Every structure is written in C-alpha cells, then in structure tokens.
Structure 1
Amino acid sequence: MKIELSQPFFKERIAIMGIGLIGGSLARALKRNNSVGKIIAYDQSEEALQKAYELGVADEIYTDPIKAAENADIIILATPITAMGKIVKEIIPYLKEDAVMSDVGSTKGSVLESIKAEVGYLPERFVPAHPIAGTEKHGVENSFDSLFDNRRTLVIPHLENSHDAVRTIHEMWKATGSETEEMGVKHHDQVLAATSHIPHLLAYATVDTLANLDDRAEIFRFAAGGFRDFTRISASDPELWTDICLQNRESILEVLVAYQKKIDLLKHALEDQERETLSKVFARAKHARDNFYKEP
C-alpha cells in the first residue's frame, strides 16, 4: 500500500520508549521536519535520558513508562524486543483513546506474540513497523536526524489493525524522510533473517574465530578494507543482537541450513581444487550483487 502525504504530518506529543540510536534518530528527524510538538522519552537509564535532554533530542524525560505515554498521540517502542510486551501491558490502560502504538523491532513474530501473551489480544492501534536503517554504534549520543533519509521502513499490519492507525504510522515514517512499504509478519522475519540477522551472526563469528587464533595480533594489524567492511557490524551491541537472534531463531536456522550447504560446497571445491565450482559460485554472487542490490 502506497501512502502519499496529502498535508504535512504533525503530532503534538510523541513518546519514544527507549531513547537510543534508533529512538533518538527518530526524534531528531521528526524535529528537523517540524513534525512534532514535543518528544517525550522513557528509558530505564537515567544517564541516557539526561543525555537525550541535554542534546535537545527529548523535551520531557521519564523513568516511568506510564507518565511518558499517558498523554502521547503516538507511542514508539524502541526498547529491547524482549521488553515490549510488558511495556504495552503496563501503559495500555492509560493511553488516550486515539493514541497509536508502534515499534522499531528487528523481529515481528516474537513481538506480537509477547504482546498477545501479556495483554490477551492484539490492540487494533498497535502497528508493527521496522525502519531498515542503523549503524554499528548505539546510544542517543550517536543518533542523527538523517538516518532514515531515503531508507525503507516496513510497516507490518496485523489482522486486527485499525486502518487509521496504519496510515498514521506510514505518515510518521514518511515525515522522517523514509519510504514505506507493507509486508507480512512471517515474511518480514524470513527476509530480515537472511539480509540482516545472518550477516550479523557471521560477522560476530568471523571476528571471534580470528580473535582466538595464536597470531591474532598480526591478523588484525594487517587487516585491510575488505575485512573492516565485512566485520564492521560486529561492533554492534552484543546484548541487542543476542535478543534478536534468539527471538528470530527459527527463520535464522532455516537460512543457516542453506548457508552451511554452500560453505560445504566451497570447502569440497577447495579440497579437490575444483576451480570451475569456485568460479561459478563467485560469478553468480557477483551477478546477483550487481543486479539486485541498489544503493539507496
């Protein structure tokens, strides 16, 4: 579903629950485009909240999720995905009748399951979403207002969703400079397993493997650009990515099976010096990369 903005998007109060890189960048982008009156920030960390306030990312800060959410027009969950269900249960009795909730989580099936388990149903005004943007850094101090420019945000409606709430989330993300598309829950988790979760898992595994070799100091000292590019994401928050991998483990395991088969094929090709096999795999990969991936 393509949503066009018929008029400038604006909401008086938007609460961001978890004020890190993504939540902070969302706040900055909305402020940059004059799309929000006040940003209300909730976080368990008083230090993070204070940074957000001092940087001008948040206008009001709370360690109490109810106080942060109770008068908000939109509530965005940017906490760890394992905390989202409990937060929804805690705040939902205190929300405005027309308030819209959403999230920025990298998995969707587990988030919806946790909300349903905690609340007993899927709220019609909770609209799952996932901006496909980020860096290996974390913390509100590393947030910036152009993170979502020309990036995609996936909006993942569930069957109980209010059409008005879905439209509101499309409009909010468009106001950040993002393009929006819709996708089903299961398909989202499968696609993200292949394009984001597996690359992170492999980057961590590569660096951890090399770090345990006897000559690791020399290996890292002479590492060139290709190594830095491939392993950059292994500098991401380990706790965050542990949660993501465990919460989307079924989809990740499906992709890992296919990946392991390809690794085995290459291993045997090297053992048997099968130049043609290696060349064909590399050529197919180059063709796919050149033709299917376009820089945003």
Structure 2
Amino acid sequence: MSSVPDPLVPVLAVVGTGLIGGSFAAALRRVGQVGRVLGVGRQPASLQRARELGLIDEIATLPQAAARADLIFLATPVGAMAGILQALAPHLRARTLVTDAGSTKSDVARLARDVLGDRCAQFIPGHPIAGSEMTGPEAADPLLYHGRKVVLTPFEDTPGADQHRLIRIWEATGARVHLMDPAAHDRALGCVSHLPHFLAAAFMAQVVRADDADTRLSLAGTGFRDFTRIAAGSPEVWRDIFFSNRAAVLQELDDFTQVLDAWRAALDDDAHPETLETLLEQAALARRFWGGRNPTS
C-alpha cells in the first residue's frame, strides 16, 4: 500500500530491526502510515538485511535518529536501554516521541526518569504482547500485532495529545491498546509470560541432560513442542527480562512451588485418585474457558 500524504509517522526510527522492531515498521508501512524508516542497531549485517527486505530505508546512528525522527521505537533488550537513552538524550528534539517494546515496565519508567529528567514525558513505556521464537529481520511480520494487545504505561505528566498519538499509531498496526500502571503490568506479566518461559527453559534443560535425551526427543510429540516452543527465544532478551522483573518472577516461583507440591502429593496418594482428577478437571476447565475468550492466543 502506498503512503498517504500525511502519515501518522513521517520519520520513524527503529532501534533493533529484528522481529519486534521490523514488524512494527512493516505494519505501519503496510497501511501507509509511515514515511521514512531509519534503522539503528549494533550489527551492521542485520541492518543491511533489514534494508534489503524493505523494513528500513536507511541506516542511522542514535544521534541521527534523535535529531530526525518523529517517533523512536526501542526494540532492544531491557539491559541495553540505559545506554541507548543516554545516547539519544542530548540530541532529542522537543517534538520527538520515544517508546519501547520491553517486557518489563517499572524499571524502564525509572530509567527514563533518571536519564531524560524533565524530558521523560516524551517517553511512553510500552509492551506489545506478541512475539515468536524466531529472531532477526527475516522474522518480521506486518501482521504480528494485528488483534494483539499492547500495554502502554504513560507517566502522569505525559501530554494527552502524545498519548493519543501513540495509541493511534499502535491501532494502525491492528493492535488493541490498554493503559496500565507499570507495577501492575509487571506483576501480571511475571505470572502469564515470564514464569512460563522460565519453566519451559528449565524443563528443556532437564530433558537434554538425561542420558537418553536423544531417545526422549525422538519420541516427543506436539505437546512437548508446544510446551517448550518459547524456550527457543533469545537468551539475551530473556536474561534481561528475568533480572529486571526478578521480584515478581521469584514470587511466582514460590507460589507455583506450593501448587506443584500439592499436585505431587495428589499423585502420590494411591488411596484417593479422585483428588488428582479433580485438580486436572479444574485446570482443564480453566484453560478451555480462557481459550474461548482469547481466540488470538
């Protein structure tokens, strides 16, 4: 689709042109709501590939992005955010809006206040709840965000016009925007996103350590594949997520351990097999009910 005369984002800078950043640019380009796209990153080969794929129009530095872009989208590991904001800050134009795609929000909000100071209102923390185990520019998908939730956690002093502008931009990608408090976001995502990835990765590690790992994996079916799929995600990204949301993940691990102990006791109880069946039935009903309300999950 060709660009409209006045796109929502005349100049977009994407810092990190892999799955998340590349998909954001591709989604806006698909609906003609972006003009020129600048790509910023640490790996020249990845940036060149993003350019070849048409995800970006040119390669830029962080200072160039800050000086030229109307919107800067940070699609990088949370651990890299401090250095990026420090590089952007001296060159940031007054009308430039900055947002991110990090999976944790409290630490990002604190960082923005520390680095940007009284200009932190130009930064609106965000988290698109969409993704894949695939990485790199080749994984970019213009429909990645279609029908998906995007959480924004604006500051109290974020101008309403800027907040509305970013909501319109995300809605142009097909996403559904939700506003949340950063701490509430981190608690919820610690449960439904971060802990599942932690468990999937730990379980995968257990399987491959077994003496007969090859035999086990050769017999694994769709259930094993579905359960462990997310363990293939970027180790760097997930390391940063776990440490940045450590308190919530540790609390969820404690809660899960209590549940696991109860289920183990039910499995060990030969006299009352109905206890385990009841637990399984409760879990099955909960999953079926949730699945019916979330057709895009």
TM-score interval for Structure 1 and Structure 2 normalised by the shorter chain: over 0.9
- The answer for the alignment partner of 1:3 in structure 2 is none
2:199 is equivalent to residue 202 of structure 1: yes
> Runs (4+) of structure 1 moved beyond 6 Å?
none
Displacement of 1:283 after TM fit? 1.2
Separation in 2 of the partners of 1:265 and 1:65?
52
What is the identity percentage for the equivalent residue pairs of Structure 1 and Structure 2? Answer: 36
- The answer for the alignment partner of 2:65 in structure 1 is 68
- The answer for the alignment partner of 1:104 in structure 2 is 101
- The answer for the alignment partner of 2:281 in structure 1 is 283
Q: Secondary structure at the match of 1:295?
A: coil
**2:220 partner amino acid:** A
* Gapped regions of structure 2 (runs ≥ 5): 1-5
- The answer for the alignment partner of 1:4 in structure 2 is none
Separation in 2 of the partners of 1:227 and 1:173?
34
**Are residues 121 and 96 of structure 1, via their aligned partners in 2, closer, same or farther at CA, if it must alter by over 3 Å?**
closer
**Are residues 66 and 226 of structure 1, via their aligned partners in 2, closer, same or farther at CA, if it must alter by over 3 Å?**
same
**Are residues 11 and 119 of structure 1, via their aligned partners in 2, closer, same or farther at CA, if it must alter by over 3 Å?**
closer
Say if 2:150 and 2:175, in contact at 8 Å, map to a contact too: yes
For residues 251-266 of structure 1, the aligned pairs below 5 Å read 251-266=248-263
Q: Secondary structure at the match of 1:284?
A: helix
* Gapped regions of structure 1 (runs ≥ 5): 1-7
CA-to-partner distance for each residue in 1:47-104, whole Å, 9 max, x for gaps?
1110111111000112x21112211111111111112122122212312211111000
- The answer for the alignment partner of 2:3 in structure 1 is none
2:9 is equivalent to residue 11 of structure 1: yes
- The answer for the alignment partner of 2:22 in structure 1 is 24
User: What is the number of equivalent residue pairs in this alignment?
Assistant: 288
TM-score, with length taken from structure 1: 0.94
Q: Secondary structure at the match of 1:107?
A: coil
- The answer for the alignment partner of 2:47 in structure 1 is 49
2:222 is equivalent to residue 225 of structure 1: yes
- The answer for the alignment partner of 1:141 in structure 2 is 138
Q: Pick from 114, 117, 127: which aligns with 2:124? A: 127
**1:126 partner amino acid:** F
Q: Secondary structure at the match of 1:70?
A: helix
Say if 2:38 and 2:56, in contact at 8 Å, map to a contact too: yes
- The answer for the alignment partner of 2:240 in structure 1 is 243
Separation in 2 of the partners of 1:72 and 1:78?
15
Q: Pick from 151, 163, 170: which aligns with 2:160? A: 163
Q: Secondary structure at the match of 2:95?
A: coil
Displacement of 1:122 after TM fit? 6.3
Say if 2:131 and 2:144, in contact at 8 Å, map to a contact too: yes
- The answer for the alignment partner of 1:33 in structure 2 is 31
2:67 is equivalent to residue 59 of structure 1: no
Displacement of 1:121 after TM fit? 5.1
Say if 1:86 and 1:118, in contact at 8 Å, map to a contact too: no
TM-score, with length taken from structure 2: 0.93
- The answer for the alignment partner of 1:212 in structure 2 is 209
